[in-house]
Amino acid sequence: MLRWCHKIVEIVVLRLGHRASRDKRVTSHVCLVARAFGASEVIIAGDEDPTIESTVKKIVERWGGNFKVSFTQNPLAVINEWKRRGGIVIHLTMYGVNLPDIIKDIKASPKPKMVIVGAEKVPREIYDVADYNVAIGNQPHSEIAALAITLDRLMDSLWSRISFNNAKLKIIPSLRGKKVKYIR
Amino acid sequence: MLRWCHKIVEIVVLRLGHRASRDKRVTSHVCLVARAFGASEVIIAGDEDPTIESTVKKIVERWGGNFKVSFTQNPLAVINEWKRRGGIVIHLTMYGVNLPDIIKDIKASPKPKMVIVGAEKVPREIYDVADYNVAIGNQPHSEIAALAITLDRLMDSLWSRISFNNAKLKIIPSLRGKKVKYIR
């Protein structure tokens, strides 16, 4: 299992409430979106789930980069440690302040950012400990979508031009079909 | 079961390849994102799955609007009918042309749009029949994230100001906690 690495990184994602029986695919999507949209790691608070680690590992082996996933049983300790080290904490919730109303404030800070995405029920302490409780619209939808839009805005659409070291293959964008370049 | 309604709507989503045993939650997220980001309906090509219908129905009852979900066993017929009626078809795939390179062309057309999101393996015919094969970055991630970003761009961030008729409750955005207004 990978451990949470205590170096400061620009954006990490904390996924709250993973249950291996139910959340496997949604949590996998959270991890892949985090990577493709420019975050450096996901910390999962919940069941330790080797299939998530294996999915992420396979993606990194083929598509490159240093993206990491790890698990914790104590998300509040992880959050408090992040804050103690000078990071800011953004909790995505449909009850929060709408992203367009707060994004300038958040982006004005050069501090590393932790973006928290929850499963269905998020404990009250998370709302209290977060520097920002932020909504991607105030309708129920998806933490995967909320994370994508947040990273899109925080990283100025980095997803559209991101590239990763040590990739074994690369897509050549095309209007029809699938063009893939294999890299030795 | 709801049937596909043949009126012209601005954006509909076609979800390819739903398997009730495996895709329940991901397809639910696709539906909720479609609604919250301004599409009017999702057509699901795959297993007829009453739990998806029930999830969407509950959301619409509480949160308002006229969002619809239906199922088809013949997605190509649905696509061809859409095109015959003057709609354009955008297939989201990591192999496609990157969204920022094509969005102006797509938005220049006033025609109603069908956005197709697939499960893992999408048949070649879909690439051929689509007017646009579009990538939200050329890295593997999530059809939920891809749909959110696409609708965000196509509808000019409508998600941040959308409201629905006949909602029973409404969130009052707040920096801490949960504020909900119940509407009689």
Could you tell me the end-to-end alpha-carbon distance of chain B, in angstroms, rounded to an integer? Answer: 28
Q: B93 to chain A, minimum CA–CA distance in Å? A: 9
Rg (alpha carbons) of chain A, rounded to whole number:
16
Question: Which residues touch A72 (CB under 8 Å, ≥6 apart)?
Answer: A4, A43, A44, A45, A78
User: What is the Cα–Cα distance from B10 to B121, expressed in whole angstroms?
Assistant: 27
Q: Which residue of A has its CA nearest to B159?
A: A137
Kindly state the tokens that stand for A89. 């904490």
Count contacts between A and B (CB, < 8 Å).
168
The chain-wide mean pLDDT, for chain B, equals: 93
Distance from CA of B41 to the nearest CA of A (A): 14
CB within 8 Å: B132 and A95: no
At A9 the pLDDT is 47
State whether A177 and B96 contact (CB < 8 Å): no
CB-CB under 8 Å, A29 with B26: yes
ipTM, two decimals, is 0.94
What does residue A24 show for φ and ψ, rounded to 5 degrees? -50, -50
Tens digits of residue pLDDT in A17-42: 999 988 999 999 999 999 999 999 99
pLDDT for the residue B82: 97
For residue B123, give the DSSP letter.
-
Amino acid at position A35, single letter: R
Cβ separation of A37 and B164 shorter than 8 Å?
Answer: no
Give residue for tokens 């909504």: A135
pLDDT band of A98, cuts 50, 70, 90: very high
Closest CB to A26: pick one of B25, B175, B178.
Answer: B25
Q: Tell me B183's DSSP state.
A: -
A141 and B25 in contact by Cβ < 8 A?
no
A148 CA to chain B: closest CA distance, Å? 6
pLDDT at A2: 32
B102-150 confidence digits (pLDDT tens): 999 999 999 999 999 998 789 999 999 999 999 999 999 999 999 999 9
Give B9-29 pLDDT, tens digit per residue.
Answer: 489 999 999 999 889 999 999
- Determine, for residues B144 and A144 on separate chains, whether the beta-carbon distance falls below 8 Å: yes
At A164 the three-state DSSP class reads coil
The DSSP symbol for A31 reads H
d(CA B144, CA A33): 9
Q: What is the least distance, in Å, from the CA of A143 to any CA of chain B?
A: 9
pLDDT band per the 50, 70, 90 thresholds, residue A120? confident
Our CA-based measurement puts residue B53 at a distance from the nearest CA of chain A, in whole angstroms, of: 15
Contact at 8 Å (CB) between A112 and A7?
Answer: no
Give chain B positions within 8 Å (CB) of A135.
171, 173
CB contact under 8 A, B96 and A32: no
Q: What is the pLDDT of residues A65-91, one digit of tens each?
A: 999 999 999 999 999 999 999 999 999
d(CA A88, CA A28): 24
pTM here? 0.94
* B3 pLDDT higher than 50: no
Three-state DSSP state, B12: strand
| Nearest-CB residue to B95 (from A100, A141, A178) | A178
Average pLDDT, chain A: 93
Tokens 């330790």 belong to residue: A48
Q: Indicate if the pLDDT at residue B7 is higher than 50.
A: no
How many angstroms separate the CA atoms of B111 and A34, rounded? 33
How far is it, in rounded angstroms, from Cα B53 to Cα A148?
A: 25
Q: What is the pLDDT of residues B33-61, one digit of tens each?
A: 999 999 999 999 999 999 999 999 999 99
Nearest to B157 by CA among A99, A75, A131: A99
Under the banding of pLDDT at 50, 70 and 90, the label for residue B166 is very high
Indicate the SS3 state at residue B85: coil
How far from A16 is each of A27, A74, A89, B137, B181, CA to CA, in Å? 10, 10, 14, 26, 27
pLDDT tier at A3, thresholds 50, 70, 90: very low
Angle of helix B20-36 relative to helix A143-154, nearest 10 degrees, comes to 50
